[in-house]
Chains A and B, each alone.
Chain A
C-alpha cells in the first residue's frame, strides 16, 4: 500500500535538470531501496520528500492526499524523517545532548531535563545494541557509532517514513547488522523506510522494493525478490556488470615497497603493531579490515603523516628513514586518502589547482607559474582519467564524488609515484565510477606501478586484489592469494587477534 508518492516531479537547478518527471512510490511498512549512480537524482528526490528542496513541478502525496512540504520542519511534523549521508553531530557534546539537540526535554520552562534525556538516550542506544554511556562525548566515538547516534536521533521521533541516505558507508559489518535489525524492527512497527545505498550485497538483504535512478530519471522499479544483482547493476549503469571489476593480470616484478616491523604507538595499544609487508611492481595488494583496525594509520604512516616508533620502510630497495611526507613522496609513494573532503581536496580551489597542488612547483618558467603548462598538464590528466568536468576552472566541490576522487588520484599520479596507496578508493562513489577506479588501478599495475589499497568491501578485495592482507587491532592477521581468498576467510581473519606467523 502506498504511503508517500511523488507524482511527475521535476527539479531544475538553473539550466540543469536534476530530476526529469519522476513518479515514485514508497510502500507502507516496507524497506524501499533507491539505487543509482551519484548525480542520478536520488538525493535530490529525497531532499524534496523531506522538505529541504522544492520541486520545480509535480506534486507529493501522503496517504493519497496532496501535501506541501515547505521545510524540513513541515515534513517532520507529518512524520517524515531523514538521516543524511554526512554526519550532523556536535562532537563536543555528549550522546544524550546530541540526541536532543534543538528539542531538549524541559523541566519547568527553562531548564533542561538532563536525567530524562539520558534515560531515553540509554533506551535508544539499547535498541541499537550499543552499550554506551549517554554522557560520552560524540567526538570520542568511532565514526560508525557516531552514525548510529545519528540514526538514534531519528528514532526518538515518531517517524512514519524514515529516509536514510547511505547510512552504512562508515559502518563495520557488525554495525550494519545492528542497523538492519533496527530497520526490520521499524518495518514490524509499520514504519516505511526509504533507503539509499551503493552497496549491492547489503541492500539485497533488507530491501523489499528497489527503485533505480539514472541521469535524473526513474528507470526501473521492481520487487526485490524479482531482481538479482546483475539486473540492478545493468539498470544502474546501462551495461553489463561483468565489466564492473577488472582484474589485474600483469606479471609481477621486483619489490617496490618493503615494510619491516612498523609500529605506531597509540593511546591504549599500538595503532599499527609490528606490520611487515611487501608490494611488487605490477601487483595489486588489498588490505581488508574493520573500522579501527589500523589500516588508515598504516598508510598514513607510510606516507609520512604519522611518525612510526620503530620499523623500516624501503622503497625500491632504498631505506627512507626521514619519514616526512616530502621525503616519502620523493621516494615514490603517493596516497589517495580515505576522506576526500577532509584530507584530499582544497574546497576553495578549482579543479585545476587541486590537480596540480602537489606538483605546482614544477609548473614554473623563470620562477613564475606557467599558466599554459598548468592548463596542459591538468587537461591531460583529466583526459587520461576521464574526469567529467564542466571546465578546469570550476570549484572542485561542484563535481560528483567519483570525479572528486579522480581529481585526488590525478594529483597523486602527477607526483610520479612507484607505489600508489589508496585508502577506500571507492567509498561514497557510484558503481560506474567504482568500475572506472578499479580499471584504473589494474591499468596502473599493468604499467608497472605497485598498488596497495584498503577496502571494507569484501567483493572489492576479492575481485581486485592479487594478494589480500587482513588487518585487525593494528596487526596483519592473514594473507591470501587471489586463488584462495574467500569472504568467510577475510571476515574470520578480520575479527581475529592472532598474528600471522612468518611463513604461514
Chain B
C-alpha cells in the first residue's frame, strides 16, 4: 500500500508559468516609481502650476519659494532624526520661537548685568540661540529616556513650556528692531535671513549645508547607523551594546538645535522677534518628514526624502497662493497630499516585502 504513496510521479510537461520575469520587472519598475514618488509629485506640481500661472516657473519665484522651503526643511531634518529612532518632536515650533526671542532680546535690549546691558556680536548671539535650542532638546531627551515619558507627551509638554518662556522673555511683546548699532558691535543679523550670496539666499545655503551634514551623519557614520537601529529594533540595539539612551538624547538635541537655527532664519527674515514665531511649524516639519517616506514607527527614512517632502509642501503652498486658491482650500489640499503620501508609502512597503520574499 505504501507503494502508491511514495514520491509523486513526474508530470510529463512542465506546468505553465505566467511569465514571472516580466511581472517581476513590472513590479520593480513600480517600486522604483514609488520610492521616488516625492520627486514625482514635486515635478507634477511644478508642471501643473507653471501651466496655470506663467509667474510660477520664474527665477525670482523659484528662489522665493526655496527660501520658504529652507526654514521648514531645516526643522524637518531635525525632526527626522527623532522620528528615525521611533520618537516624535512636537516642540520644534516652540523651540524656534524661544530661540527667536532669546536672540531678539540679546540684540535689542542686551543681557541685563549689574551696571547696564551687555551686548554680544551677531555670531555669538546666533550661537547662544542654537545652544538654547540644543539644551531644550536635551531636556526632551532626558524626559524620554531617564524619566520614560512617551515622546509625544514629553514634547507636547515642551511645546507649551517653551512657548510660554518665549512669551515671558518680553512679557508677550515684540523686539521690533534687530539691526543693532555700531557702538554695540552687533550689526548684521539680517545676513542670514535677508541677504543672498551668488544670487541665492543665505538661508538656502544654510539649508544645503545642514542637509549635507545630515546626509553624511545618517548614512556615513556609526552614529547614523545606530539611530536607524534604535528605531528599527530597540531591544536588538541594546543587545548590540548600543547606548540607546545616549542616541535618543542626541537626536532630540539635534532636533532642538535645528529648530533654533530655523527660528533664527525666520526672525532675521522678518527683522523682528515675535513670541509666536513659528507657531504650529512642528506640524509642517513632521508632514515633510512623512511625505519624504520617514516611517513614524522608526527605523526607515532618509534626509533626502525629508528635504523633498519640504519642497513639495513649500512649492504646493506657494503655488496655491500664486494661483489664488483660498487659504481654506490650501489647507484641504495640503492635508490630502500628506495622507496620500502615507497611502503610497504603505503600497511601497507591501511591494518591497513581497519582492524581497521572492528572492529568499
Contacts and interface: CB of A to CB of B under 8 A. Distances in A.
Interface of A: 8, 10, 12-16, 21-25, 39, 56-58, 218-223, 226, 303, 305, 325-326, 329, 335, 337, 342-349, 353, 356-358, 360-361, 363-364, 367-369, 390, 394-395, 397-400, 411, 415
Contact of B15 (A21, A223, A226, A344): A21
A225 to B, nearest CB: 10
Contact of A223 (B2, B239, B240): B2
Contacts of A400: 360
Given A8-B11, A220-B6, A221-B5, A347 B233 contact: yes
B358 A15 contact: yes
Interface residues of B, number: 48
| Most chain A CB neighbours (cut-off 10 Å) among B10, B16, B24, B235 | B235
A226 to B, nearest CB: 7
A363 B232 contact: no
B235 A326 contact: no
A347 B300 CA distance: 10
Contacts of A10: 15
Contacts of A337: 239
B355 A14 contact: yes
Main secondary structure of the interface of A (DSSP, over half): mixed
A221 B15 contact: no
B221 A368 contact: yes
Contacts of A15: 20-21, 24, 358
Nearest to A219: B7
B216 A368 contact: yes
Interface string B20-61: 110110010000000000000000000000000000000000
A305 B238 contact: yes
Interface stretch (B148-156, B166-174, B223-231): B223-231
A8 B8 contact: yes
B232 A348 contact: yes
B10 to A, nearest CB: 7
B326 interface: no
| Most chain A CB neighbours (cut-off 10 Å) among B27, B216, B356 | B356
Nearest to A362: B222
Contacts of B219: 369
Given A218-B8, A344-B236, A397-B353, 15 more contacts: A14-B359, A15-B24, A21-B8, A23-B8, A219-B7, A222-B5, A329-B241, A335-B239, A342-B235, A346-B232, A348-B295, A349-B232, A367-B221, A369-B222, A397-B356
A22 B359 CA distance: 21
A358 B237 CA distance: 8
| Interchain residue pairs A-B with the least CB separation, the first 5 | A23-B8, A14-B358, A346-B232, A57-B15, A358-B240
A22 B216 CA distance: 51
A10 B8 CA distance: 13
B299 interface: yes
Given A21-B15, A58-B15, A357-B229, A348 B299 contact: yes
A360 B358 contact: no
Contacts of B299: 346, 348-349
A370 to B, nearest CB: 9
A57 B2 CA distance: 26
Contacts of A21: 8, 10-11, 15
A325 B238 contact: yes
11 contacts: A8-B15, A12-B17, A12-B20, A15-B20, A15-B24, A219-B7, A326-B241, A345-B236, A349-B299, A357-B237, A367-B221
A218 B5 CA distance: 11
Contacts of B16: 57
A369 B225 contact: yes
A398 B15 contact: no
B220 interface: yes
B39 to A, nearest CB: 22
B243 interface: yes
A390 B6 contact: no
B21 to A, nearest CB: 6
Given A21-B10, A368-B220, A390-B359, A344 B21 contact: no
A305 B240 CA distance: 11
Contacts of B21: 14-15
B356 A398 contact: yes
Contacts of A303: 239
Nearest to B349: A348
Contact of A369 (B221, B231, B357): B221
Contacts of B360: 16, 39, 390, 398-400
A360 B225 contact: yes
Contact of B243 (A39, A326, A360, A364): A326
Given A15-B24, A22-B8, A347-B232, A398 B357 contact: yes
Interface in B279-302: 295, 299-300
A267 B221 CA distance: 41
B2 A222 contact: yes
A337 B17 CA distance: 41
Interface in B125-178: none
Contacts of A223: 2
A415 B6 contact: no
| Most chain B CB neighbours (cut-off 10 Å) among A13, A23, A329, A411 | A13
A397 B359 CA distance: 11
